[in-house]
Amino acid sequence: MAEIISSHFYGKSLCDLFMGGASISIKAKSMNMRVIGNDIAYRSYLIGEALIKNQKEKITEEDVYSLFVPTENNHLIEQNFSPEVFTPKFAQFLDKGFANAKKRTAPKKQLLELALVKLILSTRQFGGFQVGKQDNEMIANNQERELLELASEARGKKIKNILSHPLPTLMRIKDQINSSIFDNGQVNEIYQMDAFDMLERLKRENRQVDTLYLDSPYKNSVLYSAHYRILDQILEQKLEVEIEDKTFNKADALDSFEKLFTLANSVSNKWIISLGYNPDSDGGIKGEELLAVVQKFKPAEIFYLDHIWAINNLSGKSQSRNVEYLIVTK
């Protein structure tokens, strides 16, 4: 997907307004574009700090070992998410690991947090937190062999990561993260803001970007604030976490897009908009509908792509008729 999307990049700078996992920002950085990344969720912001804004700092073996050092912590994970989500032993390590990571300064803090997030996701089927209690109960009852015999190959790999000591996995993750860190000779920026506020800021500062990339949550899609709620609670170290990502998931989503485009018109001439739609779901925004709104501001064309939303596998949703489309202004 990143290769297809990047073929429409224009100029020397890109603003990734809904950064998410930062794959598009990383691609733009690799093309030596100046990147401005933004997302309302800290889980995305830390990726941007670690891999986009950071140009040279890497994780060392000593950094990984530091996550295992005994330290005072609030036991948030052990007390609230064990054994339903994590085994007691794994939860105890995560509490210690995040407490040690948060003692560091940027970007090392975000690098180590990212390593711990990747460790967590290596134990979760489809990155979800809605399953796992039965697995943890079988592990607690020393039924690991029976559990692995029942599991699919993919799920079996996740279970083995739960059963294994975290150090080897973290060392592999360290190498994976470090391989993504490079200096593109630009001053890249990362923000954690609401998309409307970010565009208002750029407008207020009279700043222009050559390409504006928009990949917002959309109507009838999985809400990441719900899917990753436990991860957000862990990262922010509190249970009361509210991330407002429903603006484009409501019945008046087209009106919200029109408001967004009004602001975007002052910031960039080139827009790339990525959105998904499943004709089997109730509602959603068809490509032609969004294209009509975009064309109120700029000439544009639409491209339909083949794409699979793996995150939906967890709920058993059919993906056979999913439609991913790009709208690109001319």
Taking alpha carbons only, the member of 52, 49, 50 closest to residue 24 is 52
- How high is the pLDDT of residue 220? 57
Q: What is the mean pLDDT of the chain?
A: 90
- How high is the pLDDT of residue 309? 52
Span of 46-55, 70-79, 211-220 with lowest mean pLDDT? 211-220
List the domain boundaries for the chain.
Answer: 2-55+185-329, 61-178
Report angle CA 118, 119, 123 to the nearest 5 degrees.
Answer: 105
Residue 185 per-residue DSSP state: S
Cis before 83? omega within 30 = yes
Please write the tens of the pLDDT for every residue from 270-325.
999 999 887 666 667 889 999 999 999 999 999 998 755 555 444 455 445 678 89
For the purposes of burial, counting CB atoms within 10 Å of the CB of 166, is it exposed (0-12), middle (13-18) or buried (19 or more)?
Answer: buried
Amino acid at 294: V
Q: How many CA atoms lie within 13 A of 103 on its CB side?
A: 13
Topology of the domain comprising 2-55+185-329? Rossmann fold (3.40.50)
When pLDDT is cut at 50, 70 and 90, the band that residue 56 belongs to is very high
- Supply 237's token pair: 């170290």
Please write the tens of the pLDDT for every residue from 83-102.
889 999 999 999 999 999 99
Q: What are the residues facing 265 on neighbouring strands? A: none
Q: pTM for the full model? A: 0.91
Please write the tens of the pLDDT for every residue from 12-40.
999 999 999 999 999 999 999 999 999 99
Please write the tens of the pLDDT for every residue from 114-135.
999 999 999 987 677 766 777 8
- Supply 275's token pair: 């959105």
Return the SS3 of 286: coil
When pLDDT is cut at 50, 70 and 90, the band that residue 243 belongs to is confident
Top pLDDT among 320 and 183 is at 183
- The rounded percent of the chain whose pLDDT value lies above 70 is 91
Top pLDDT among 174 and 163 is at 174
**Contact, 248 vs 219, CB < 8 A?**
yes
Span of 58-72, 122-136, 176-190 with lowest mean pLDDT? 122-136
- How high is the pLDDT of residue 306? 72
Across the chain, the runs of DSSP E, i.e. the strands, are 13-16, 34-38, 189-191, 211-214, 270-277, 300-305, 323-329
- How high is the pLDDT of residue 139? 85
Taking alpha carbons only, the member of 5, 24, 26, 18 closest to residue 44 is 18
